């Protein structure tokens, strides 16, 4: 079993920002808009947010601030400085959105510098201009729940140099907090954002699901890029449709934690028909089969070419019936054997064939996978020969109540192509 690994960092802005003192710094940090330069690239992915759990940390923080453990070491590590009358922090739902954005960004770069190269406080909205601001971050696997994160940030057993997170949680100037928890491919990311201003106290529904998130990444920090696609071949029947598979770009940066997974971004792939434009059409992310034949579509992402081959078959060209035969009739129970009568050429040209019959009364099924077809079968001791060009695929006998013989459904496959048929009595 892997050992739990937890890493945490602290950053606090310990001064009131003032235009008269640091005008350029104030302007830079108060800007919410991030304009990606030519050196930045945007990537979208699906981290899982666990905000109900994140919000539950507030009570522990406030108990910590107002309880007997609200102390920190002085810089010389000779005296514990106790705090009194700190008061509770208010959960700020506007600041929570900042924390959620920062938690997503930690997947790309575990740092107080954002993946686009800017300082973490540029994620704050203008609501928090001219305020004290602070950020705590933590990362861990395979588990890092709310208690693990909070206790790690308490730093009870550290001296002054290791109590930056603790001092943020105990800072008297802070009045509000936003907390976020992201789980992504086995790794947990936690963020606390603090301010001396309160943005919004209007409660919003907690995000407890995967949410499409976008991060801007400085191109020069990307150390590894791989491009992948879910599939390279699609089989369709004439008139059928299929979604174009997603292309993903797996990214690591110089700031990606060594134990963390790659960021798997959804690529903005522009597909075009490279062959068989009369066989398929491509529109709105879907492939539509127009006629039998072969086609292909192509895209290039990050200089990597991806091709998907499409084979279209005409299911109406396969003549087949699904039937059943009865034997050993008993009290309301029949022994039933399912039979597929299909084109001999179609079956014999197939590498494999299978029959699946759904029996609705109990959810039972009769599934037969065969490597060859029989040219004749015996029914009631009599040899039955198929018509010219036909073959039989035989299923096993199963017991079915007579009341359920009507309405049986089934399908058969030849080389993974599925053909639906109504089951009828032979």
* Residue written as token pair 């209007």: 202
For the chain, the distance separating the N- and C-terminal CA atoms, rounded to the nearest angstrom, is: 59
pLDDT of residue 68: 96
* pLDDT by position in tens, the chain (length 426): 333 444 555 554 432 221 111 222 222 232 233 344 448 999 999 999 999 999 999 999 999 999 999 999 999 999 999 999 899 999 999 999 999 999 999 999 999 999 999 999 999 999 999 999 999 999 998 889 999 999 999 999 999 999 999 999 999 999 999 999 999 999 999 999 999 999 999 999 999 999 999 999 999 999 999 999 989 999 888 888 999 999 999 999 999 999 999 999 999 899 999 999 999 999 999 999 999 899 999 999 999 999 999 999 876 655 556 666 666 555 666 666 666 666 655 555 555 555 555 544 444 454 444 434 444 444 444 444 444 455 555 555 566 666 555 655 555 565 555 655 555 555
Please, which residues have CB within 8 angstroms of residue 61's CB and are 6 or more apart in sequence?
Answer: 89, 150, 169, 177
**Distance between CA atoms of residues 104 and 182, nearest Å:** 7
Angle at which helices 57-66 and 146-154 pack, to 10 degrees? 30
Residue 131 burial (CB count, 10 A): 23
From residue 60, how far is each of 80, 200, 411 by CA, in Å? 21, 21, 58
Rounded CA-CA distance 253/108 in Å is 6
Strands 304-313 and 233-237, sheet pairing: parallel
pLDDT score at 262:
94
CA torsion 110-112-117-121 (nearest 10°) is 140
Asked if 120 and 128 touch (Cβ cutoff 8 Å), the reply is: no
Q: Which residues pair with 397 in a beta bridge?
A: 337
Provide the pLDDT for residue 141: 83
User: Hey, which residues does 409 pair with through a beta bridge?
Assistant: 358, 422
Alpha-carbon gap, residue 293 to 280, rounded angstroms = 9
Q: Decide: pTM greater than 0.75.
A: no
Token pair, residue 24, equals 């350029």
CB atoms near residue 94 (< 10 Å): 21
And the tokens for 335?
A: 């022994």
Dist. CA 87–CA 68, nearest whole Å: 13
| Chain position carrying tokens 């992915």 | 45
Token pair for 138: 């933590």
């Amino acid at each position: 079993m892997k050992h739990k690994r937890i890493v945490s960092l602290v950053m606090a802005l310990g001064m009131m920002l003032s235009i008269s003192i640091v005008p350029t710094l104030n302007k830079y940090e108060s800007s919410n808009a991030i304009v990606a330069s030519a050196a930045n690239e945007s990537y979208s992915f699906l981290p899982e947010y666990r905000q109900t759990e994140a919000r539950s940390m507030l009570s522990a923080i406030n108990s910590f601030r107002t309880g007997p453990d609200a102390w920190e070491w002085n810089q010389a590590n000779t005296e514990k400085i106790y705090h009194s009358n700190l008061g509770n922090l208010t959960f700020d739902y506007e600041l929570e959105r900042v924390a959620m954005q920062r938690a997503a960004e930690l997947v790309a770069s575990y740092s107080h510098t954002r993946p686009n190269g800017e300082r973490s406080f540029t994620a704050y909205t203008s609501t928090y201009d001219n305020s004290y601001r602070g950020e705590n971050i933590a990362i861990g696997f395979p588990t890092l729940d709310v208690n693990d994160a909070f206790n790690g940030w308490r730093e009870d057993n550290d001296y002054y140099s290791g109590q930056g997170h603790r001092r943020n949680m105990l800072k008297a100037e802070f009045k509000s907090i936003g907390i976020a928890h992201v789980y992504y491919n086995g790794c947990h990311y936690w963020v606390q954002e603090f301010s001396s201003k309160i943005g919004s106290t209007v409660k919003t529904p907690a995000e407890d699901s995967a949410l499409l998130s976008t991060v801007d990444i400085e191109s020069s920090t990307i150390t590894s890029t791989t491009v992948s696609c879910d599939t390279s071949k699609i089989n369709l029947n004439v008139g059928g449709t299929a979604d174009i598979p997603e292309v993903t770009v797996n990214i690591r940066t110089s700031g990606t934690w060594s134990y963390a997974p790659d960021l798997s971004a959804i690529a903005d792939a522009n597909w075009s028909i490279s062959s068989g434009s009369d066989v398929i059409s491509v529109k709105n992310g879907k492939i539509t089969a127009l006629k039998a034949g072969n086609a292909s579509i192509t895209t290039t992402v990050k200089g990597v070419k991806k091709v998907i081959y499409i084979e279209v078959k005409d299911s109406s060209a396969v003549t087949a019936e699904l039937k059943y035969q009865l034997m050993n009739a008993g009290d309301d129970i029949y022994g039933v054997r399912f039979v597929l009568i299909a084109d001999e050429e179609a079956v014999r040209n197939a590498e494999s064939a299978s029959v699946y019959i759904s029996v609705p009364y109990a959810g039972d099924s009769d599934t037969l996978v065969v490597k060859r077809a029989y040219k004749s079968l015996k029914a009631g001791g009599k040899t039955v020969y198929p018509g010219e060009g036909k073959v039989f695929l035989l299923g096993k006998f199963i017991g079915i109540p007579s009341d359920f013989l009507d309405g049986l459904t089934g399908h058969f496959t030849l080389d993974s192509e599925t053909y639906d048929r109504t089951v009828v009595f032979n």
